């Protein structure tokens, strides 16, 4: 049985601090691209507040399962970073699609998705993959530095405070009843 001609759209954003509208923007642009190409949309998969540094995303996994079941011949993404920010995962994804005979297209990066045996396609996808992973590394470095600074100033970095402390005006203060337990 041949794969039906048509596209799955995959969208993603990273954290719950981002605007959920970004999914709508991505899906809208991908839908416009599919319509301009005369490519039927066979499914839309969207991972909300999930890192692009992992491939254990519910909607991504569902899409891959549907592709393994021969339900579409194309994946359409807004840009490479919406699929993965980890360069190894990106190329594993590309190899998986190649084995299945599925193409990938980016609506904002038209050179993404060509034949990886073509040196220019491989180079362009590699460069974008490096920049995507670099972005994550730099962001992590900045976030960790900010957390360390807050901690040195006695400010709480979020989450449940450790036993013996409470948060008052964004600062950690000793919670005497709990502190007694810790001292004991």
Express each pLDDT in 42-69 by its tens digit: 999 998 867 666 677 899 999 999 999 9
Specify the pLDDT at position 52: 63
What the block records as the tokens of 97 is 């699609």
Q: Is the pLDDT of residue 173 over 70?
A: yes
Check if the beta carbon of residue 147 is closer than 8 Å to that of residue 137.
no
- What pLDDT is attached to residue 49? 67
Structure tokens that stand for 19 in this block = 């605007």
Its pTM stands at 0.72
Q: Please state, as a whole number, how many other Cβ atoms lie within 10 Å of the Cβ of residue 65.
A: 10
Give 27's pLDDT tier (boundaries 50, 70, 90).
Answer: very high
Q: Which tokens belong to 153?
A: 């100033």
Paired sense of beta strands 171-174 and 165-168, if any: antiparallel
Could you tell me which residue, 142 or 28, shows the higher pLDDT? 28
Residue 79: CB atoms within 10 Å? 15
pLDDT for 87? 79
d(CA 6, CA 39): 5
* Count of CB atoms situated within 10 Å of the CB of 15: 9
What kind and span of H or E run contains 78? none
Short-list 36, 116, 40, CA closest to 80: 116
Q: Looking at the predicted structure, is the pLDDT value of residue 24 above 60?
A: yes
Nearest to 104, CA basis, from 25, 36, 10, 38? 10
């Amino acid at each position: 049985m041949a794969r039906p001609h048509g596209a799955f759209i995959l969208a993603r954003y990273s954290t719950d601090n981002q605007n959920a509208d970004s999914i709508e923007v991505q899906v809208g642009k991908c839908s416009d691209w599919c319509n301009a190409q005369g490519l039927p949309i066979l499914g839309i998969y969207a991972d909300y507040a999930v890192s692009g540094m992992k491939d254990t995303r519910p909607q991504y996994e569902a899409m891959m399962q549907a592709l393994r079941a021969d339900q579409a011949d194309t994946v359409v993404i807004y840009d490479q970073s919406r699929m993965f920010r980890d360069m190894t995962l990106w190329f594993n994804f590309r190899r998986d699609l190649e084995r299945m005979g599925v193409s990938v297209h980016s609506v904002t990066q038209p050179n993404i998705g060509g034949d990886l045996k073509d040196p220019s396609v491989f180079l362009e996808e590699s460069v974008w993959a490096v920049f995507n992973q670099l972005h994550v590394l730099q962001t992590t470095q900045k976030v960790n530095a900010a957390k360390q600074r807050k901690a040195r100033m006695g400010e709480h970095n979020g989450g449940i405070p450790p036993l013996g402390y409470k948060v008052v005006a964004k600062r950690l203060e000793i919670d005497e009843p709990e502190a007694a337990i810790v001292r004991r």
